[in-house]
Structure 1
Amino acid sequence: MLKVTGLEAGYGVSQVLFGMGFEVPRGSVTSLIGRNGMGKTTTIHTILGMVRARGGDIQLEGESITALQPNTIARRGIGLVPEGRRVFPSLTVEENLVATSRPGGADGWSLERIYDLFPRLKERRGQFAATLSGGEQQMLAVGRALLTNPALLILDEATEGLAPVIRADIWATLRRLKELGQSILVVDKNLKEMAPLVDRHHIVEKGRVVWQGSPQELAANEDLAHRYLGV
């Protein structure tokens, strides 16, 4: 599905990624984890073309997308749930959902399927996004990304700052998406909540992957978790 090889990127004279590499197999849930400032979000932004790669390659479905513009990459099939939600506050819930939607065929995501997934959004379909709670805005951000009918869904700190009960709802939704075959790349800090969902973790340290393995393997290695994650 997604293959990142030897990726180098940064901002101005500062290099952030130093040979970043990992894969997201089709239908799997893959994570990037690590302390703040280690390059996880920069990796996401480089995959999306928001930061230009200085070296390496990014392939989606076997074709390089490294040099493409962000709008072209999005149309190739990558949907993003960004850190901080970033919904359109002056648009209604429904306007937010349809603003960037793309047809997905008979089995694709539609407005009604999103409302089935998030009944709360259907109840608030006419409300301005600015009036929603943080949890409702996150549901809206997930729904908006799904309505682009992505081959790969990327979530960057999607549960950050949410109440535990709302986090549980988001993780339950992601488990349902996995059951439906959605390929997912997730950046998050909540290892315990991710464990039932993620197939493979990748620990990011100073712009490169320093370890990869299953949630069970990570849980069994306390020294590793303490060294790189501070847990």
Structure 2
Amino acid sequence: MLVADNLQSGYGASQVLFGVDLNIASHQVVSLLGRNGMGKTTTVRTLMGMLPLKGGTLTFDGQKLNGMRPHRISRLGFGLVPEGRRIFPSLTVYENLYATSRDERGGNWTLERVFALFPRLQERRNQSARTLSGGEQQMLAIGRALLTNPRLLILDEATEGLAPVIRQEIWACLNQLKGEGQTILLIDKNLKEMNHLVDQHHIIEKGRIVWKGTSAELLEQPELVNQYLGV
């Protein structure tokens, strides 16, 4: 589905990615792991067209995305849950969700399905988004992305800073999505939960992919966790 070959990108004259390779097949859950500042969010922004490619190629179902604007990439079927959630605080829960609903795509995700997935959002549908807890805002950000009926769902720091009970709700949601065949690129630090979910891990270090493999292979090499993911 998505093939990133030798991606090079950064901010202005500062290069952050030095040849990132990712290959995400349909119905796979793929992770991007690494310490803070190693290039995870830069990779996401490059995939979404928010940062220009300085080198390499990016294709989605064989269509080259180099130079494509973010709104066009989104329309191809990319749904993003960004780091920090980035909900619209002045809008209600309902208005946040309605703003990204794309019924014309003919997908399965509707407001009713999102409310069934996250009943708290149904309870707070007329409430200002700024008054939600951090966990509820993350549910809203996920629901908003799902309403674009994405072919590829990207979650940047899916459970960071959330209370344990909310984290469990988010992981249950992601497991349900995987069971339904949703293709996912996931960034998170909770390896215990990710290992039950992820088909293929990628570890990034200083803008380069230094290791990739399955959850079973990662569990067999705890030295990798200490070397590349430890504090």
State the secondary structure of the residue aligned to 1:173: helix
2:101 pairs with 1:124? no
- Work out the CA distance in 2 between the residues paired with 1:19 and 1:13: 16
Residue pair 1:3, 1:22 contacting (<8 A) in 2 also: yes
| Alignment partner, residue 222 of structure 1 | 222
- Divergent runs of 4+, >2 A: 104-107
- Work out the CA distance in 2 between the residues paired with 1:173 and 1:209: 28
Distance 1:154 1:38, change over 3 A: same
Shift in Å, 1:216: 1.6
Whichever residue aligns with residue 6 of structure 2, its letter is G
| Alignment partner, residue 17 of structure 1 | 17
Shift in Å, 1:106: 5.4
- 1:6-62 Cα offsets, whole Å, 9 max, x none, are 100011221110110011110010000011111111000000011000011111111
- Work out the CA distance in 2 between the residues paired with 1:21 and 1:107: 29
Shift in Å, 1:107: 4.8
Residue pair 1:26, 1:183 contacting (<8 A) in 2 also: yes
TM-score normalised over the length of structure 2: 0.97
State the secondary structure of the residue aligned to 2:95: helix
Residue pair 2:92, 2:128 contacting (<8 A) in 1 also: yes
State the secondary structure of the residue aligned to 2:76: helix
Distance 1:221 1:193, change over 3 A: same
- Work out the CA distance in 2 between the residues paired with 1:19 and 1:106: 36
| Alignment partner, residue 189 of structure 2 | 189
Residue pair 2:105, 2:149 contacting (<8 A) in 1 also: no
Matched ranges for 1:37-76 at <5 A? 37-76=37-76
- Work out the CA distance in 2 between the residues paired with 1:207 and 1:105: 35
| Alignment partner, residue 26 of structure 2 | 26
| Alignment partner, residue 161 of structure 2 | 161
- List runs of 5+ in structure 2 lacking aligned partners: none
| Alignment partner, residue 151 of structure 2 | 151
- How many residues get paired? 231
- List runs of 5+ in structure 1 lacking aligned partners: none
2:17 pairs with 1:5? no
| Alignment partner, residue 180 of structure 1 | 180
| Alignment partner, residue 95 of structure 2 | 95
Whichever residue aligns with residue 203 of structure 1, its letter is I
Residue pair 1:104, 1:149 contacting (<8 A) in 2 also: no
Shift in Å, 1:65: 1.1
Shift in Å, 1:81: 0.3
Whichever residue aligns with residue 121 of structure 2, its letter is L
- Work out the CA distance in 1 between the residues paired with 2:52 and 2:105: 32
Percent of aligned pairs sharing the same letter = 61
Residue pair 1:85, 1:158 contacting (<8 A) in 2 also: no
- Work out the CA distance in 2 between the residues paired with 1:25 and 1:136: 30
State the secondary structure of the residue aligned to 1:43: helix
Shift in Å, 1:158: 1.5
Shift in Å, 1:217: 1.1
- Work out the CA distance in 2 between the residues paired with 1:193 and 1:55: 34
Whichever residue aligns with residue 16 of structure 2, its letter is V
Whichever residue aligns with residue 169 of structure 1, its letter is E
- Work out the CA distance in 2 between the residues paired with 1:106 and 1:76: 13
- Work out the CA distance in 1 between the residues paired with 2:12 and 2:89: 31
Shift in Å, 1:104: 5.8
| Alignment partner, residue 36 of structure 1 | 36
Residue pair 2:200, 2:215 contacting (<8 A) in 1 also: yes
More deviation, 30-39/214-223: 214-223
- Work out the CA distance in 1 between the residues paired with 2:66 and 2:94: 33
| Alignment partner, residue 171 of structure 1 | 171
